[in-house]
């Protein structure tokens, strides 16, 4: 394999553009991108034509506007390049207009009422900051998706808006530091992706995995993750082959897949790319998830991306590593080598601290879903309470600045902003705190609450916007201040004093923390149903509107869509349980019970002396739990019907989930008492150890 030929070979990237576009066109395109301007049609025409020629050489016949509606997955509609000619033949064409703008009939995508069905059309617009690429023989144009009124109907539009917002505000700070050669500030993201691999044959026997992505029933496997022997363990040959092909497919798409290893749970793995600009990282994470599933199918396996496919076994998350940097590549969250750089670092750090504290709820909402509720707060993933880990050293320094004291611990140093150099902090290494939802890891923040199926757009929209807001306030203050450095000192002191409640370096899984967090007044939204409605709280709407990220109606409709998604997910899960319990579980249990009863009777006939207590004991267990299951089933049916009629998230949370839990408990008991040859579903052991 020739890596230099392989990497990015399916991407219409900068080097392809340089090679294939006339110099003037290339220059105009680059300027438009750098200045966030839309592309003139004459330029688009030339670009489109070059793209088409390149794609056809690679075997493409179709193109698609690839977009990210609010369903959480990506969408595409394929159009071929063909155009009829008068002589009955066809030529392959692709115009600038087709490149820049598409009009999918999008009436079935969630819009939360933003787009009435009679005006079903939305339009997609090329986002030239993300390269076109080829997937399955289709030329894919990354696009934003809007209604005709201009309302965002997707995840990319607000993400791009939030990046503009950070850029606008951070540049004000950068100018105050006199950096005239910087033209743009952007945020960067590297997202670590966890997933499970299971055997296709096992998957096919489980309707719940097919319909909901998780097992709604299943007694514990005798061996779970107790030994933690899977974490970083030797990778099985079938998985090695899978990972190799996955890497190659991702590299072809220009995705910098870098690290891969086994995770804590059996059958669980992780992939991490090298970070890149947030917008591109978001597109690439969506693609990564898609390619993961596709490659698994080729290897006779299924890739599960659900947050919690198996009860009692760790779920899958996604770590969103986020930082801010200049177009010259300076990481603004990296403590520098000079006092001036450190003043800048502390200022950006404080913007994040203040933002996370003031908008805890938004971060929580950005990771809220029915699936992720199984993880957050379940002592395996960060709790539902948002707090920040800064490490002892950095926390010590901030507290010293706040108190105007000398900081001394490991490195003896005084910290007077703009005068002293900060010590180098240990990067997230041995002393890393894995329980923190939001950890500073030396030169970036790692937001760990995301569920594995999530688009990272939501969390990054929030991170970018809250950073923009705090930088805006700091810039207002600093621009008006007579003395720059003392003003920064004042800001740092004040931020630490007012927002240190959000900093917590201890064990986030402990019960004491829950109590302590309550004392500190931190919010604790246990479930998605609790969290989501707060998206539309006044101070959140104000934030988004101020920075042009969402309009008020966009916030309201997104709140609706999120709540609707929560209800629908639980509805499908409940219906799946009812179906499996009634059509597979109960018949199997009855059959086994009948078999046992028949055997006992026969034994009795043979001789009254024969002891049938084992059979009778088992039958009793089966009838007891069977009765409980049948009762729970009825209850679940009733509650689901009621919740659906009201489309009420509270009803799903308070009534349907407990009924689901009751049914599951009874069924999982039945599994333990039923002979495996009668049990209709592959067991946890079958599923978790199926790939060898």
**Residues contributing to the site for ligand ADP (CB under 6 A):** 188-190, 192, 272-275, 321-323, 331, 428, 441, 443-444
Chain residue whose CB lies nearest ligand ADP: 190
What minimum distance in Å lies between the beta carbon of 257 and ligand ADP?
10
> What 3-state DSSP class applies to 94?
coil
> Tokens representing 235?
């990778």
Collect all residues with Cβ–Cβ distance below 8 Å to 629 and sequence separation of at least 6.
Answer: 581, 585, 586, 589, 663, 666, 667, 670
Q: Are 127 and 142 in contact (CB under 8 A)?
A: yes
Dihedral (Cα; 212, 213, 218, 220), 10-degree rounding: -150
Residue 489 is inside which H or E element, if any?
A: helix 484-499
DSSP bridge partners of 147: 122
First-to-final CA distance of the chain: 26
Q: Are 670 and 589 in contact (CB under 8 A)?
A: yes
What minimum distance in Å lies between the beta carbon of 192 and ligand ADP?
6
DSSP bridge partners of 323: 188
Query: With respect to ligand ADP, which residue has the nearer C-beta, 218 or 355?
Result: 355
Q: Output the CA–CA distances (angstroms, integers) from residue 677 to 198, 216, 521, 686, in the order listed.
A: 21, 20, 54, 13
What minimum distance in Å lies between the beta carbon of 437 and ligand ADP?
15
Dihedral (Cα; 592, 596, 597, 602), 10-degree rounding: 140
Query: With respect to ligand ADP, which residue has the nearer C-beta, 145 or 275?
Result: 275
Burial 273-302 (b: 16+ CB within 10 A, else e): bebbbbbbbbbbbbbbbbbbeebbeebebb
What minimum distance in Å lies between the beta carbon of 428 and ligand ADP?
5
What minimum distance in Å lies between the beta carbon of 255 and ligand ADP?
11
What minimum distance in Å lies between the beta carbon of 420 and ligand ADP?
24
Q: Are 527 and 373 in contact (CB under 8 A)?
A: yes
DSSP bridge partners of 325: 186, 331
Query: With respect to ligand ADP, which residue has the nearer C-beta, 342 or 576?
Result: 342
Query: With respect to ligand ADP, which residue has the nearer C-beta, 418 or 426?
Result: 426
What minimum distance in Å lies between the beta carbon of 258 and ligand ADP?
7
Q: Are 104 and 122 in contact (CB under 8 A)?
A: yes
What minimum distance in Å lies between the beta carbon of 524 and ligand ADP?
27
Query: With respect to ligand ADP, which residue has the nearer C-beta, 130 or 489?
Result: 130
CA distance 657 to 374: 11
What minimum distance in Å lies between the beta carbon of 261 and ligand ADP?
9
Closest CA to 143 of 72, 68, 79: 68
Query: With respect to ligand ADP, which residue has the nearer C-beta, 279 or 527?
Result: 279
Give me the helix-helix angle, 237-252 and 278-298, nearest 10°.
140
**Count of CB atoms within 10 A of residue 216's CB?**
24
Query: With respect to ligand ADP, which residue has the nearer C-beta, 321 or 569?
Result: 321
Token match 């794609």: residue? 55
Query: With respect to ligand ADP, which residue has the nearer C-beta, 278 or 314?
Result: 278
What minimum distance in Å lies between the beta carbon of 314 and ligand ADP?
17
Query: With respect to ligand ADP, which residue has the nearer C-beta, 427 or 539?
Result: 427
- Rounded to 5°, the CA angle 266-271-274 comes to 160
> Tokens representing 146?
């809007």
> What 3-state DSSP class applies to 570?
helix
Query: With respect to ligand ADP, which residue has the nearer C-beta, 426 or 548?
Result: 426
What minimum distance in Å lies between the beta carbon of 323 and ligand ADP?
3
Query: With respect to ligand ADP, which residue has the nearer C-beta, 274 or 614?
Result: 274
CA distance 214 to 392: 39
Query: With respect to ligand ADP, which residue has the nearer C-beta, 192 or 554?
Result: 192
Residue 388 is inside which H or E element, if any?
A: strand 388-389
What minimum distance in Å lies between the beta carbon of 337 and ligand ADP?
17
């Amino acid at each position: 394999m020739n890596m230099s030929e392989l990497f990015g070979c399916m991407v219409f990237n900068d080097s392809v553009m340089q090679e294939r576009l006339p110099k003037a066109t290339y220059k105009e395109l680059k300027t438009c991108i750098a200045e966030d301007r839309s592309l003139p049609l004459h330029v688009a025409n030339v670009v489109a034509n070059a793209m088409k020629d390149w794609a056809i050489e690679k075997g493409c016949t179709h193109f698609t506007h690839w977009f990210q509606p609010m369903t959480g997955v990506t969408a595409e509609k394929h159009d071929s390049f063909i155009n009829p000619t008068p002589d009955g033949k066809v030529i392959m064409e692709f115009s600038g207009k087709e490149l820049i703008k598409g009009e999918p009939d999008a009436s079935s995508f969630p819009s939360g009422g933003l787009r009435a069905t009679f005006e079903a059309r939305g339009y997609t617009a090329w986002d030239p900051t993300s390269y076109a690429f080829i997937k399955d023989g289709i030329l894919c144009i990354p696009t934003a998706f809007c209604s005709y009124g201009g309302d965002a109907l997707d995840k990319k539009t607000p993400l791009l808006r939030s990046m503009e917002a950070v850029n606008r505000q951070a540049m004000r700070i950068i100018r105050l530091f006199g950096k005239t050669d910087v033209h743009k500030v952007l945020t960067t993201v590297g997202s670590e992706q966890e997933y499970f691999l299971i055997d296709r044959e096992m998957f096919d026997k489980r309707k719940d995995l097919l319909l909901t992505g998780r097992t709604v029933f299943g007694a514990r496997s005798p061996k779970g993750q107790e030994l933690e022997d899977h974490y970083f363990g030797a990778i099985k040959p079938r998985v090695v082959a899978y990972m190799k092909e996955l890497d190659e497919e991702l590299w072809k798409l220009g995705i910098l897949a870098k690290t891969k290893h086994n995770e804590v749970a059996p059958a669980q793995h992780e992939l991490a790319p090298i970070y890149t600009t947030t917008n591109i990282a978001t597109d690439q994470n969506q693609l990564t998830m898609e390619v993961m599933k596709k490659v698994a199918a080729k290897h006779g396996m299924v890739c599960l991306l659900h947050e919690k496919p198996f009860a009692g076994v760790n779920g899958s998350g996604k770590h969103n590593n986020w930082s801010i940097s200049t177009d010259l590549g300076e990481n603004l969250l990296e403590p520098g080598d000079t006092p001036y750089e450190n003043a800048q670092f502390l200022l950006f750090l404080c913007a994040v601290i203040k933002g996370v504290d003031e908008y805890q709820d938004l971060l929580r909402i950005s990771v809220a879903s029915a699936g992720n509720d199984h993880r957050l707060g379940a002592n395996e993933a960060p709790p539902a309470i948002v707090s920040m880990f800064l490490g002892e050293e950095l926390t010590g320094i901030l507290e010293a600045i706040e108190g105007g004291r000398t900081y001394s611990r490991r490195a003896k140093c005084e910290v007077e902003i703009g005068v002293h150099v900060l010590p180098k902090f240990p990067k997230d290494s041995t002393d890393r705190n894995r329980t923190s939802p939001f950890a500073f890891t030396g030169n970036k923040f790692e937001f760990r609450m995301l569920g594995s199926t999530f688009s990272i757009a939501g969390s990054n929209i929030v991170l970018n916007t809250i950073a923009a807001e705090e930088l805006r306030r700091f810039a207002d203050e600093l621009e008006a201040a007579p003395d720059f450095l003392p003003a920064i000192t004042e800001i740092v002191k004040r931020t630490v004093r007012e927002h240190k409640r959000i900093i917590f370096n201890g064990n986030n899984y402990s019960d004491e923390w829950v109590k302590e967090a309550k004392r500190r007044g931190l919010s604790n939204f246990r479930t998605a149903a609790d969290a989501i409605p707060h998206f539309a709280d006044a101070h959140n709407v104000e934030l988004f509107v101020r920075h042009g990220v969402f309009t008020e109606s966009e916030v309201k409709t997104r709140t609706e869509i999120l709540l609707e998604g929560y209800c629908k997910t639980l509805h499908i899960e409940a219906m799946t349980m009812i179906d499996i319990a009634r059509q597979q579980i109960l018949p199997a249990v009855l059959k086994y019970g009948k078999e046992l009863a028949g055997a006992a009777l026969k034994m009795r006939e043979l001789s009254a002396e024969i002891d049938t207590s084992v059979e009778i004991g088992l039958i009793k267990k089966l009838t007891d739990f069977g009765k409980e299951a049948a009762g729970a089933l009825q209850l679940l049916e009733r509650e689901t019907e009621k919740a659906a009629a009201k489309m009420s998230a509270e009803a799903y949370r308070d009534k349907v989930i407990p009924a689901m839990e009751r049914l599951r408990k009874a069924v999982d008991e039945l599994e333990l008492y039923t002979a495996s040859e009668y049990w209709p579903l592959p067991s946890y052991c079958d599923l978790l150890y199926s790939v060898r």
